[in-house]
Structure 1
Amino acid sequence: MTLALDRGIQILAELGNAQGLTLSEVSQRTGIPKSTTHRLLKRLTEQHLVRQNLLDQRYRSNVLLPKQTEMHIPPTAQPLLEIICQHVEALTDKVLWPSDIFIPIDDKLFLVESTRAITRLHINHCRIQTEVNMLRSAAGRALLAYSTESDRERYLASIWKNFPPSTQQQFYETWPALYKQILQQGFAYRSPSYFGERKANDGLRAIAVPIMFEDKVEACINLVWPKVFASEKTFANDYAAILKHTAANISTHLKRL
């Protein structure tokens, strides 16, 4: 039973990293015998964890497993995450749109939890425990805008290690106006050129707000929706207020601890 479970997880992991695989390709990538692979894929399909496209007959995963990284949520952040989860689940129940939770860890920003799996809406799944682009994601921009100057410079110093000087120059040219806009409206949009952390365009838009405790950004939460549903302005007019209200309630909850 344990071996079958391990192999099933291995298959899901391979499918999650590909755009679709044939039976032979799954068997080759995992090293699992073809007959066993076929049996496991059949079972995973019956449980709706995997689907087989009728056109190309390739298998694709309906779920995304956590990315294998060295990221570990600090024990001190666990109570924070539990509190945020309570509030964002209630938020999704109310507005239907899913919310992702982001926590800064070691000068990087990670997507650590999401309500996409519990919404009744069909939204692309996200990969938990994934580092997100702090310059282009809505959550990253909210984090930078509401962090103290010293924290912001620390985050940026970590970012610049992986970017050329031209990117730094472009950021500092555009940041003042973007910073002012985020503070005025109370939330951040994702960059138009940001398509999520998956290889393919996730087809989503997002608005994000910080979770503040005293003067520190402890986390960020967002609301995501398909681009075809509404423009950023229309969606923000309808949902930004309740997102900000949820963040304020979380901050109040933290102060009572």
Structure 2
Amino acid sequence: MWNPKVKTVTALDRGLAVLGAVQASGGASLQGLHELTGLPKATLLRILVTLERRNLIWRRIADGHYCPGTQPPARSRQAGVNDRLAQYAAPELDRLQAEILWPSDLAIRRGNAMVLCETNRAESYFMIRRDNIGFQVNMLRSAVGQAYLAFCTDKERESILAALRRSRRGGDAMAHDAERVAALIAGTRQRGYGVRDQGFGGDYDKGRTEVNDRLEALAVPVMSARGRVYGCVNIVWIQGVRTLEQMVGQCLAPLQRTAASIAHRMSADG
């Protein structure tokens, strides 16, 4: 083993140790990294900011955890795509919230449902119910699900709908009403954005009369130039405080710009 008689760079050694801890954990809080590395929090923060500026790590909005900025070798290709999507979305969602104040989520498709993979609700000016990363969202009744279904490829849509028709979950029952589903998809395409079903209150299976988070939402797809839907971003607001028409007028254009910026970064990265 090569053992040169020169001093090591202590700061670099610490930085690499922190980077290794972030990559090994897949995402950790400042406290968690403090416990893993034994470094003082003030030192850790300086290292983390440096690593973040180099795009070697990124800070998730939803819980403040520091996550790897590159794909770990053992992860699947799709997992790597989703990680990059969340990484690129985080600063864009920050900018969007600064502009419109209302919070936003990023959701990806997993099977025949949508899954939350980033959110800025914790940073919101408004008191909004916070859903955790990994929270499962109904495909047919949610704004993000409708946006995904409307703008994904025909082949992918048929595969999703077939799976929903096989599902025994009460929240997927709408899939058996072919006319309603077709009208929903056509309406979403015509508008350019998805909206919540009137009976949807945030719970996957139960209706708004049973579970009501008192929120409304509209969503647009994050699409590549070739028509691939990476995921969907939404805006959520408190029921009754604003109408859908008001939110569309005030927030749709910034939301669409945000989705386009995320898509551009994904496409530029290959």
Question: TM-score, structure 2 length as denominator?
Answer: 0.64
Equivalent AA in structure 1 for residue 191 of structure 2: Q
Q: Is the 8 A contact 1:93 1:119 kept in 2?
A: no
Equivalent AA in structure 1 for residue 198 of structure 2: P
Pair 1:155 & 2:167 matched: no
- Deviation, 1:80, is 1.5
Pair 1:246 & 2:252 matched: no
Seen in structure 2, the aligned counterparts of structure 1 residues 177 and 248 have a Cα distance that, compared at 3 Å, is same
Q: Is the 8 A contact 2:112 2:163 kept in 1?
A: yes
Number of the residue aligned with 2:99: 94
In 2, distance between residues paired with 1:250 and 1:156?
Answer: 27
Report the 3-state secondary structure (helix = DSSP H, G, I; strand = E; otherwise coil) of the residue aligned with 2:162: helix
- Deviation, 1:166, is 6.7
Equivalent AA in structure 2 for residue 116 of structure 1: R
In 2, distance between residues paired with 1:124 and 1:112?
Answer: 16
Quick one: percent identity of the two aligned structures?
30
Seen in structure 2, the aligned counterparts of structure 1 residues 173 and 94 have a Cα distance that, compared at 3 Å, is same
Question: TM-score, structure 1 length as denominator?
Answer: 0.67
Q: Is the 8 A contact 2:175 2:181 kept in 1?
A: no
Q: Is the 8 A contact 1:142 1:188 kept in 2?
A: yes
Report the 3-state secondary structure (helix = DSSP H, G, I; strand = E; otherwise coil) of the residue aligned with 2:122: coil
- Deviation, 1:93, is 1.4
Pair 1:177 & 2:189 matched: no
- Deviation, 1:107, is 4.1
In 2, distance between residues paired with 1:115 and 1:177?
Answer: 32
Provide, for residues 26-45 of structure 1, a one-character-per-residue CA deviation record: whole Å limited to 9, x for no partner: xxxxxxxxxxxxxxxxxxxx
In 2, distance between residues paired with 1:205 and 1:228?
Answer: 9
Seen in structure 2, the aligned counterparts of structure 1 residues 201 and 166 have a Cα distance that, compared at 3 Å, is closer
- Deviation, 1:140, is 0.3
- Deviation, 1:75, is 2.9
Q: Is the 8 A contact 1:189 1:206 kept in 2?
A: yes
5+ long unaligned stretches in structure 2? 1-61, 64-75, 205-209
In 1, distance between residues paired with 2:222 and 2:175?
Answer: 27
In 1, distance between residues paired with 2:149 and 2:267?
Answer: 22
5+ long unaligned stretches in structure 1? 1-62, 65-71
- Deviation, 1:102, is 0.3
Paired residues in the alignment total: 187
Number of the residue aligned with 1:220: 232
Q: Is the 8 A contact 2:112 2:139 kept in 1?
A: no
CA RMSD of aligned residues (A): 2.4
Report the 3-state secondary structure (helix = DSSP H, G, I; strand = E; otherwise coil) of the residue aligned with 1:74: helix
In 2, distance between residues paired with 1:218 and 1:166?
Answer: 26
Seen in structure 2, the aligned counterparts of structure 1 residues 223 and 167 have a Cα distance that, compared at 3 Å, is closer
